[in-house]
Amino acid sequence: MPQPPHEPHPNHDRGLEFDLSTLVSRRSLGMFLGAGTAAALAACSPGGTSGTGSSSTSAAGTPAATAAAPSAAATSASATPTLTRAIAECGVEIPQETAGPYPGDGSNGPNVLEASGVVRQDITSSFGTSTSTAEGVPLTVTLTLLDNANGCTPLAGAAVYAWHCDREGKYSMYDSGLQNENYLRGVQEADANGQVTFKTIYPGAYNGRWPHIHFEVFESMNNATAAGQVLAVSQIALTEAACKQVYASAGYESSAQNFPRTTLKSDNVFGNDGGIYQLATITGSVAAGYAAGLNVTV
């Protein structure tokens, strides 16, 4: 049984090397492929088409491959401004990270991916035998998936499994009292623009980690719901400004105490580069809720 969030699990997010030596399942190989192999797999992903482009510079100042306009088969006629910007800034693949000790994907204990009801946009409540709802400040998360091996075309038809802790830093399916809950976990299929959206609550902060959201990218919905091969395993870093605002609100008292103890640079997942490619863009307020967005190149 995992330790309470205020005393981090001793094996929590210790990195890919640790996961490789401890997580043994039919999915282990797919989950921890290197970035280069993930890109090769992405070349076979649905929605991927060849494209030519010129070099550009992303908002982070990193050279990025700018693809030619995606074909009609890859993206809809009403491509969003978010997608247009994502394509222009594409070129750096999302860093591969540990799935942590609480993935709920069959690699470390229970498997929610094969459960009926896991494919959903609103992940705030449990499904199946429980209908409990996780309380907290509303958060909408949108990921834009791009195929780096095919000119940064949208990964239409790919799938994302996302999960995170509740406002007290606890994980459903694992922490004491939450073993029969599966809220804050769900799967979505990418649309024609390569985008998936989840409605959830703002995660809490616990000792030893910067506030984050875990996710896995699959080649297709069938792969996701069958716990199949994974194209990418990574995490979304939440912004300091939004965290300070949320953790000052009612219900996040433990997060307010834990948050100052870990910085992006000291975090054992984001610390190597400060989460530059995983830091979400976040807008909103405690009263109205927040919206977070991240471009995910695989």
Q: How many helices (H) and strands (E) does the chain have?
A: 7, 11
| 66 closest CA partner among 48, 90, 45 | 90
Instruction: Give the pTM.
Output: 0.77
Model confidence pLDDT, tens digit, residues 47-87: 333 333 333 333 333 333 333 333 333 444 467 888 998 99
CB 202 within 8 A of CB 136: yes
Beta strands in 90-155 (DSSP E): 138-147, 153-154
Q: What gap in Å lies between CA 94 and CA 156, rounded to an integer?
A: 17
Average pLDDT over residues 259-278: 96
What is the model's pLDDT at position 81? 86
How open is the CA angle 72-76-80, to the nearest 5 degrees?
130
Model confidence pLDDT, tens digit, residues 107-125: 999 999 999 999 999 999 9
User: How many residues can be counted in the chain?
Assistant: 298
Q: What gap in Å lies between CA 218 and CA 232, rounded to an integer?
A: 7
Instruction: Write the single-letter amino acid at 156.
Output: A
First vs last C-alpha separation in the chain = 34
